[in-house]
Structure 1
Amino acid sequence: MGLLAYAGQAILAVFGSLIAAVVLNVAWQLIAPRDPTKPPLVFHYVPVLGCAVSYGMDPMGFLDDCRAKYGPVFTYPLLGRKITAALGPLGSNFVLNGKLAHVNAEEAYTHLTTPVFGTEVVYDVPNHVLMEQKKFVKFGLTTENFRRYVGLIRDEVREHMSKHVYANNTKTVSPGVDAFEASSEITICTASATLQGREIRAAMDKSFAQLYHDLDGGFTPLNFVFPNLPLPSYRRRDRAQLKMREFYISILEKRRASTDEPDQDMLTALQNQQYKTGEPLTDKQIAHIMIALLMAGQHTSAATGSWAILRLGENQDLQRRLYEEQVEHYLDKETGELRDLEYETLQTPLLNAFVKELLRVHPPLHSLMRKIISDCPVPATVGAPAAEPNAPSDFKKRTEGVEYVVPKGEYVLAAPGYSQLDEQIWGSDAKQFRTERWLEGGSKVPGEEDEGEEDYGWGKISKGGKSAYLPFGAGRHRCIGEQFAYVQLGVIIATLVRENSWTLDQPFPGNDYSTMIVMPAKPRKVTFTKRTGAVKA
């Protein structure tokens, strides 16, 4: 009895301490004078935990509620950190094009990426070294390579459908297929067959697949918040990282020892690069860059591909029109069959518009963070109330002309995914998936007049940080794999539409925010049917 009583008292003491902490935290927020140079603090009950639950469950809804209460610039606590959100295109530009003296991506992400990618690359090196490494990767992303990739990607899609969907050509209708699982398998096979090289593709069905799975276990929100816990998954992550590095290095060594002409892939491109200092990339650095390309590209592309499958399964008319567009552009009237896709002719208007709308509504990364390394002023224009017509009556008085300062050690957050669904920018149908918006009056992003444009292979879009359309980020950390992603996604969608039709087996799924990437929530099944008839791929 004495032991039970002691345990009960201990529990009561802990519970009482938690209640006291909550009460003191609430009182401090209500009573303490507010520093006008700091952004408004989002009200929260539990210290340290802060807004983790509401933000984690529905980030876009959380940001929307906070914007209505506090304006486009506000600070919220998250698991012991303070995050200042800067919403809207001006907020994205402030964060993503911030001065290196103020904002730092490396310190925001290295504790997550370095254990997975490896040392001496990406966020484990100073920014100027990362910029050189990004240039090295560009040498493997040539138009000549993209031309070769189109056929390789098509073949991988066909092989997956034959082996895993239609049971080796014995069926014409599939059982229910999980859209995300199918997209993940197609994505990693197409990426390994193209960017990664034939050795990686050959190993993808063997031990390498397990290494990938174990390493992938280190890319979760838990790892982001607590990067060094003594958990079995962390140990598997670290072992897989070492073995995967050794695997890439062994490929490099075998290629050097061979007299055969090397494949013109990313590994070959990286072997021929050297820094401005004259030092070549080491085998270890090449291996880690290859791991980074594999891991970072896989998650985002797999998620986007699954949303594409689900959207077309939901919208049979759009699926039919995409197929008819392929027939219109590629039908060989002599043979009655569709000509092969080619890089130069891959872009067709409706497919182009569908991909753009897909990335607008379903960006794989809704938010991007930077760490403040010296006190950082937030221009008054970022928090201006002019674009907040629905804000509380005292909002304009509280925020007009105010220039905030975010203290060193805190974080800033840009939310391009939020801007891409903002009704004040895109209109009342902003949250609706409507491919036609990109076919009406050109493909300009609403409100863009002074941003520079660049054609990434799917029409001109803004390349500036002030754009309301930034599915690949902006600034010095803009995704280097953007053009490859367009090629990969375009060929996958076109090949699936050419050779299959499919239907959604349940209502359209919502967003799953439990991982680092925004995925469709379960259930997310579709049923495929092979196309038959004179016109075929």
Structure 2
Amino acid sequence: MDFIGLSEGLQQLPAPLFYVGATVLLLVSLLILRVASNHMTFKAPPVYEPIPFVGGLIKFVQGPMRLMSDGYRSKGEVFTVPLAHKKMTFLLGPHVSAHFFKANDDEMSQQEVYEFNVPTFGKGVVFDVDHKVRAEQFQFFAAALKTAKLHTYVPYFVSEATEFFGKWDQQGVVELQTELSHLIILTASRTLMGREVRENMFRQVTDLYHDLDMGMLPISVMFPYLPIEAHRKRDRAREELSKIFAKVIQARKASGAQENDLLQHFIESRYRTVYNGRMTNEEEITGFLIATLFAGQHTSSITSSWTGYFMMTHKEKWMKPAIEEQKRLMREHGEELSVEVLNKMEVLHAIITEALRLFPPLIMLLRKAKTSFSVTTSKGQQYVVPKGHIIFASPAFSHRLAGVFERPDEFEPDRFQAPREEDKRRPFSFIGFGAGRHGCMGSNFAYLQIKTIWSVMLRNFDFEMVDPFPQAQYNSLVVGPGPCRVKYMRRKLKV
């Protein structure tokens, strides 16, 4: 429509007709704009606000899964929850989460939303630095977790697991996650924190790490410096760990020892484009070690436990094939457990992945939108998420969506094997280790660690559940199973 021509034509009319014509033109213009706006994509996500101002906070503290479930049921895959002065937007499912995983740090930032980790990890590392420094620090982690390095870690996994299970009786009953948590702390102390910690300070460091861990609560996400006892113990533990690692680092540097562990790698790391190319300092190294331990310990111990519970619950269908796989590899390679042998365990790999799909330890991933961006739901609805919103993606919730995986609540490891390969149908369907630009760099480390542990267990023990299948503890920041005892009986696997 030629609005300029119409307006010029109106100006030639007598005054009464001019006003009538202008009014009609204005009404027509408003009608056209309204119709057009219904077809425009610049539409903010629907708002889910159970109780004005504080409703989101109450449900968030009670458990994010409840908040996501209620919001999804009410509003769908995309919705915004007002939280006091902040706006939280949830992107649930692969159709709406591509930008979350693909965007760079100038578009979707980690720093602001993960600042609650600073009291635990320490100042000057990871989420207490700008993205240029953080990118260099992440390169330190990436280099330490390359395949060549993993080859040096696996023998430590094997020796720690063999020694640990060698102390079990001929038969007995154990709380499985407690046992596996102890073992994984042992392997972590040797491969990550170093021989000195493993041999001389293991109990002291483990107790301090426990206090750090207990200081990471759901309320800590919103109020990391809240003056509560858990935070005070966290801060004291962080200070003591800093003193311990300073002494270990100084002693190792003075001795000139060259160890195959993450500590050695961090000691030798040097910045390339920031800080004038200096070496890492003691406080940074301590922060790197704590961050690595936090990233790996929970994922491995929790996923190892779920892996066992599922195999024991599906003995014929999944534990038996996992044992047969061990027999085949023992016929081919003897007792050897190397990177090459562990990588051939396709059945065990699928079981671990399915356990991680159903019960990922990290139920939420966070970013802050530095720019506005658009999303399109599986039903074709289009929304623009405004700049400044806190953005949530959820492995735990998205993995259970019927449109993403078939029979999503069922344990079916073959969904990750040919010909099903459901995780490959749409990008970002499986996000158990995150995805995209900030996918977990330690995923290979975790798989090798868990495969080693369960290889040693399957080769030496039979297992059966004593308690009912455990419930996930969704009221925790890192979600694991509730207490569950299993019975073990020692035996030697016959090949």
Tell me, yes or no, whether TM beats 0.5: yes
User: Does structure 1 residue 267 correspond to structure 2 residue 263?
Assistant: yes
User: Does structure 1 residue 495 correspond to structure 2 residue 456?
Assistant: yes
Asked if 2 retains the 8 angstrom alpha-carbon contact of 1:96 and 1:414, the reply is: no
Residue number among 350, 371, 384 corresponding to 1:404 in the alignment: 384
Give the secondary-structure state (helix, strand or coil) at the position aligned to 1:502.
strand
Q: Deviations over 1:20-57 (max 9, x none)?
A: xxxxxxxxxxxxxxx9832111141353143633x555
What is the distance in 2 between the residues matched to 1:114 and 1:484?
A: 24
| Cα drift, residue 94 of structure 1 | 1.8
Ranges in structure 2 where 5+ consecutive residues have no aligned partner: 1-40
Q: Which amino acid aligns with 2:81?
A: Y
User: Does structure 1 residue 312 correspond to structure 2 residue 311?
Assistant: yes
| Cα drift, residue 370 of structure 1 | 1.2
Corresponding residue number in structure 2 for 1:291: 290
Assess, with a 3 A threshold, how the Cα gap between structure 1 residues 184 and 218 changes in structure 2: closer, same or farther: same
Residue number among 124, 127, 147 corresponding to 1:123 in the alignment: 127
Give the secondary-structure state (helix, strand or coil) at the position aligned to 2:463.
strand
What is the distance in 1 between the residues matched to 2:481 and 2:397?
A: 17
Alignment of 1:48-447 (within 5 A): 48-50=54-56, 52-53=58-59, 59-60=64-65, 62-78=67-83, 81-110=86-115, 112-163=116-167, 166=168, 171-175=169-173, 177-203=174-200, 205-259=202-256, 261-277=257-273, 278-317=277-316, 318-331=318-331, 338-347=334-343, 348-374=345-371, 376-379=372-375, 382-383=376-377, 385-386=379-380, 399=381, 402-408=382-388, 410-427=389-406, 429-441=407-419, 443=421, 445-447=423-425
Name whichever of 430-439 and 119-128 sits farther off: 430-439
| Cα drift, residue 332 of structure 1 | 6.6
Asked if 2 retains the 8 angstrom alpha-carbon contact of 1:71 and 1:385, the reply is: no
What is the distance in 1 between the residues matched to 2:442 and 2:63?
A: 28
Q: Deviations over 1:229-269 (max 9, x none)?
A: 2223222211211111121121111112114x411221222
Corresponding residue number in structure 1 for 2:50: 44
Corresponding residue number in structure 2 for 1:478: 439
Assess, with a 3 A threshold, how the Cα gap between structure 1 residues 62 and 50 changes in structure 2: closer, same or farther: closer
Percent of pairs identical after alignment? 30
Assess, with a 3 A threshold, how the Cα gap between structure 1 residues 107 and 43 changes in structure 2: closer, same or farther: closer
What is the distance in 2 between the residues matched to 1:533 and 1:352?
A: 20
Q: Which amino acid aligns with 1:283?
A: E
Q: Which amino acid aligns with 1:180?
A: Q
Q: TM-score, normalised by structure 1?
A: 0.78
Q: TM-score, normalised by structure 2?
A: 0.84
Corresponding residue number in structure 1 for 2:6: none
| Cα drift, residue 349 of structure 1 | 2.2
Q: Which amino acid aligns with 1:100?
A: D
| Cα drift, residue 384 of structure 1 | 5.2
Asked if 2 retains the 8 angstrom alpha-carbon contact of 1:197 and 1:265, the reply is: yes
Alignment root-mean-square deviation, CA: 2.4
Assess, with a 3 A threshold, how the Cα gap between structure 1 residues 255 and 99 changes in structure 2: closer, same or farther: closer
Ranges in structure 1 where 5+ consecutive residues have no aligned partner: 1-34, 387-398, 449-465
Tell me how many residue pairs correspond in the alignment: 450
Give the secondary-structure state (helix, strand or coil) at the position aligned to 2:144.
coil
| Cα drift, residue 515 of structure 1 | 1.4
Asked if 2 retains the 8 angstrom alpha-carbon contact of 1:84 and 1:406, the reply is: no
Name whichever of 80-89 and 183-192 sits farther off: 80-89
| Cα drift, residue 184 of structure 1 | 1.1
Give the secondary-structure state (helix, strand or coil) at the position aligned to 1:518.
coil
What is the distance in 1 between the residues matched to 2:297 and 2:84?
A: 28
Name whichever of 320-329 and 41-50 sits farther off: 41-50
What is the distance in 1 between the residues matched to 2:200 and 2:311?
A: 32
Q: Which amino acid aligns with 1:406?
A: P
Q: Which amino acid aligns with 1:190?
A: T
Q: Deviations over 1:28-87 (max 9, x none)?
A: xxxxxxx9832111141353143633x555644643443343221111234664311112
| Cα drift, residue 226 of structure 1 | 1.8
Asked if 1 retains the 8 angstrom alpha-carbon contact of 2:61 and 2:218, the reply is: no
Assess, with a 3 A threshold, how the Cα gap between structure 1 residues 426 and 185 changes in structure 2: closer, same or farther: same
Larger Rg: 2
What is the distance in 1 between the residues matched to 2:285 and 2:486?
A: 39
Name whichever of 432-441 and 185-194 sits farther off: 432-441
Asked if 2 retains the 8 angstrom alpha-carbon contact of 1:332 and 1:339, the reply is: no
Q: Which amino acid aligns with 1:114?
A: V
Q: Which amino acid aligns with 1:255?
A: R
What is the distance in 2 between the residues matched to 1:474 and 1:151?
A: 29
